[in-house]
Amino acid sequence: MPPSLQKISQSVESRSADEKYADVNWDELGFGVIPTEFMYIMKCSNGGEFSQGHLTPYRNIELSPSAGVLNYGQGLFEGLKAYRTEDDRFLLFRPEENALRMQMGAERMLMPSPSTQQFLDAVKQTVLANKRWIPPLGKGTLYVRPLLIGSGPVLGVAPAAEYTFLVFAAPVGIYHKGPAGLNLYVEDQLHRATPGGTGGVKSITNYSPAYLAQQQARAKGFSDVLFLDSVTGKYIEELTACNIFILKGNVLATPAVHGTILPGITRKSIIAIALDFGYQVEERVIPVEDLLEADEAFCTGTAVVVTPIGAATYQGKRVEYNTGKGTLFHKLRETLTGIQTGRLEDKKGWTMEIN
Ligand code: COI
């Protein structure tokens, strides 16, 4: 091991031996950048493969002003969480799904991607090096952010010749603070994704185009925006950063993933849990009218987990949903987080213990 890496690894070991937690106010966690101590970095150039990744102190990275990611947005990200169990073990939730989704996105964005094993090793190393930032059970989780970016210089519109895979982490709490139940605005002018575009992969370019709609909605007192399909404007798609579900009777429905909707890992897990509970689950196109007639609505994602929707407004018509005790979202969230934190038996093999 090179001397610099030896030093990092000694520092990781000596700190973790005598300090269980970093100096963080765990009661104040939101969803923001709280720097941790280490990040992971790995490069690949000239059509080669990723190799020689390593941990390094968390720091700013240096990029050429003509880096592909800065000029043409050639980049993908992932999001997953590390959980502390009651007996102080550390769990990841379905991390290989994130690795596969990154590989799928990389194909669409014409980028090389780390193998599943490389992705998992990088995530594990990053989490363990920063384990003092994994919040106490009940206070939050360690959000892990893998990034794949075109770091090589380009000027003509073309893929970069060098790529950087990077993993950093930050302790997080609740994504949407505020009253229980989102107050949604159904956006009928601006769109998030188009057929044939990148809405179905986790491209970094999918998010900032939603800022304007989000800001306009927030200015009117809404908490988030629900986008409609860009071809007909009739069907619901997803929020700025999560998938949506609606419940009517015993039928739980969510928009089918046909290229404009992100195949969420929480989405997929919630479908499986709801089926186990005996609900009928439909992945289909969902007219906005179905949203307005639903009994319950909620959104899912790694960051938002399962968050209830309290109300939705479409073209001036506002409807409210049940968010109280006995709701399905509540049962689903309890089961999902129970598995994620080791409180419930993981019969599906979704969690990965790391040590
Ligand atoms: C996640 O849930 O991990 C996301 O990707 C949402 C993020 C944009 C905050």
Strands 317-320 and 182-187 come out as: unpaired
Question: For atom 6 of ligand 1, which residue has the closest CA?
Answer: 241
User: What values do phi and psi take at 303, rounded to 5?
Assistant: -70, -45
Instruction: Break the chain into its structural domains and give their ranges.
Output: 3-172, 182-340
Per-residue confidence band for 116, with pLDDT thresholds at 50, 70 and 90? very high
Element (H, E) at 40: strand 38-45
Tokens for 60, please give them: 């700013």
* C-alpha 242 – ligand 1 centre gap (Å): 7
Residue 3's pLDDT is 45
* Ligand 1 centroid distance, CA of 224 (Å): 14
Burial of 51-66, coded b for 16+ CB within 10 Å and e otherwise, reads eebbbbebeeeebeee
Average of per-residue pLDDT across 119-136: 98
pLDDT tops 60 at residue 4: no
Distance CA 223, CA 183 (A): 5
Does the pLDDT value for residue 243 go beyond 90? Answer: yes
What contacts 58, CB < 8 A, 6 or more positions away?
35, 36, 37, 38, 39, 168
- Whole-model pTM: value is 0.94
Which stretch of DSSP H or E encloses residue 42? strand 38-45
Query: Considering only CA atoms, which residue is closest to atom 3 of ligand 1?
Result: 79
Return the residue whose CA atom lies nearest to atom 8 of ligand 1. 241
Q: What mean pLDDT is reported for the chain? A: 95
- CATH fold, domain 3-172, is D-amino Acid Aminotransferase; Chain A, domain 1 (3.30.470)
Instruction: Outline where DSSP puts E strands in 193-259.
Output: 224-228, 236-239, 243-248, 251-255
pLDDT in tens, 159-216: 999 999 999 999 999 999 877 899 999 999 999 999 999 999 999 999 999 999 999 9
Q: Given this model, what pLDDT does residue 279 score?
A: 98
Angle, helix 265-276 to helix 95-108, in steps of 10 degrees = 130
Which residue, chain included where needed, has tokens 């150039």?
Answer: 45
Ligand 1 site residues, Cβ closer than 6 angstroms = 79, 207, 241, 301-303
| Atom of ligand 1 at shortest range from CA of 79 | 3
Q: How far apart are CA 76 and CA 62, in angstroms?
A: 18
Collapsed DSSP state (helix, strand, coil) of residue 258: coil
Residue 245 predicted with pLDDT over 70: yes
Structure tokens that stand for 119 in this block = 């992705």
- To test the ligand 1 pocket, which listed residue (93, 97, 142, 304) has its Cβ within 8 A of the most ligand atoms? 304
Query: Which pLDDT band, with edges at 50, 70 and 90, does 46 fall under?
Result: confident
234 is catalytic: no
Q: Where are the alpha helices (DSSP H) in 109-210?
A: 116-129
Q: What is the mean pLDDT of residues 320-330?
A: 92
For position 16, what pLDDT does the model report?
A: 52
Query: In this model, does residue 347 exceed pLDDT 50?
Result: yes
What is the Cα Rg of the chain in Å? 21
Tell me which CATH homologous superfamily contains domain 182-340. D-amino Acid Aminotransferase, subunit A, domain 2 (3.20.10.10)
**Local confidence band at 316 (pLDDT 50, 70, 90 cut-offs):** very high
Instruction: Say which residues have a Cβ less than 8 Å from residue 346's Cβ, sequence separation at least 6.
Output: 339
Gap from CA of 55 to ligand 1 centroid (Å): 23
Query: Which atom of ligand 1 is the closest one to the Cα of 80?
Result: 3
Q: Is 90 exceeded by the pLDDT of residue 14?
A: no
78-115 pLDDT, tens digit each: 999 999 999 999 999 999 999 999 999 999 999 999 99
Let me know how many helices (H) and strands (E) the chain has, helices first: 8, 17
Which ligand 1 atom lies nearest to the CA of residue 266?
2
Q: What is the pLDDT of residue 1?
A: 47
d(CA 141, CA 144): 9
Confidence at residue 313, expressed as pLDDT on a 0 to 100 scale: 98
Mean pLDDT of 41-63: 95
Average pLDDT over residues 114-123: 98
Give the tens place of pLDDT for each residue, 263-282: 999 999 999 999 999 999 99
Tokens 């689903």 appear where?
A: 332
